[in-house]
Structure 1
Amino acid sequence: MKTLKTTLLITCSLFFLVGCNNDDDSPAVDNQENIPENNALDIGDYHEGGVIIYLDATGEHGLVCSITDLTDGNTYYAIWNGGVGDIPGADGTEIGTGKQNTIDILNGYIQGNGPNAAGLCAYYSVIIDGERKDGWFLPSKDELNLLFIHKDLINATAVANGGTEIGNERYWSSSEYDADYAWKQALYDNGGQYAYWKPTYSDRVRAVREF
């Protein structure tokens, strides 16, 4: 009986030691591997001289708007361009089309009475930590609508960083409606979007930039 007990004790001890001293060389499982990192950026953040109004799927790239309405030094109101006639290519309305619209407007620009909206955006720049941030443009119809959607966040961040609030005004988009009209939006009440006569109507401008 003692021999049997001793044999069982030795067998159990060996089993325990083998189980606790696994020589498997496979790497340890990283429990953090599948936990997504928190995005450092969010809508309404101050970033690269503007306020974030859009983030793509990566959470690292998107659009910012300027922290103030643009001016030529004399007025905060601008015409779309100086005459009627179709501007080839300046008809994009979706998010991501404002930059090319602005290039097309400037390429087909007709000099008018007063500053033009696309020109104010194209020549706008800010310096952040010694680095010039240029490449601003007049937002497309859908990009402009983001300013209405996020107006409260934009205003709070803009003012906190030395800028000004988006006014209860109409603002130009870079999206042409037809040869005579272009889209603008009332950034107040229900945020209505309207097609207005391009050569003579003057309204506010706030620039947008990719990052």
Structure 2
Amino acid sequence: MVDDEDLIAERTPLPDAIGGRLREQLVFLAEVDKLKTVLRQSPLAAADRRENDAEHSWHLALMVSVLAEHSDEPIDVGRTVELVVLHDLVEIYAGDTPLYDDAGRESQQEREEAAADRLFGLLPADQAARFRGLWDEFESRGSPEARFAKAVDRVQPLLLNWLARGGTWRTPGVTADTVRARKAVIGEASTPLWTMVQELIGEGERRGWVSPGE
């Protein structure tokens, strides 16, 4: 359980008359406002700054709605939107782990699982179990919805990097082959999106926005 002193809701406590299930839900909803403060490495296309996790999650939800027709398998769009909205909430406590941060990726799973227990544990027990189940589903890619959600999660920052003419592709040590390898999960969910992504990476390589592969 999270220490009450760490919770946003305890900075301006709710009236005592608001209790039970609703109180737990409001405490959780206040706490996830912290997602707006978690900065990612991806540059925005519309402004000269990095995006935050809340902006990323909103963009993913919209992308699922727009691109669902490109899934290789039929998907429940509503469930897929839930998956992309929930999956990064753990970064409130675990922090963002950039795709090309190999050192950070070594401890990512452990940090994020602990964060999931801590954050979803704020909810009523039934919702805590459901949300944790959805988060685990996304991580395991164990359903068509989870595979497509993961694919969109990989497409979104790649599109931002393309629009920024490189973005995090310019990270030292990253090559076009590195990008292709880290984005390969897209091909597990959507042949059209994977074809598109390979075209963007290849063109970025030709334009000098990412170091050539071997």
Is the TM-score greater than 0.5?
Answer: no
Structure number with the higher helix fraction is 2
Structure with greater strand share of residues: 1
Instruction: Give the TM-score of the pair, scaled to structure 2.
Output: 0.32
Q: Which has the larger radius of gyration?
A: 1
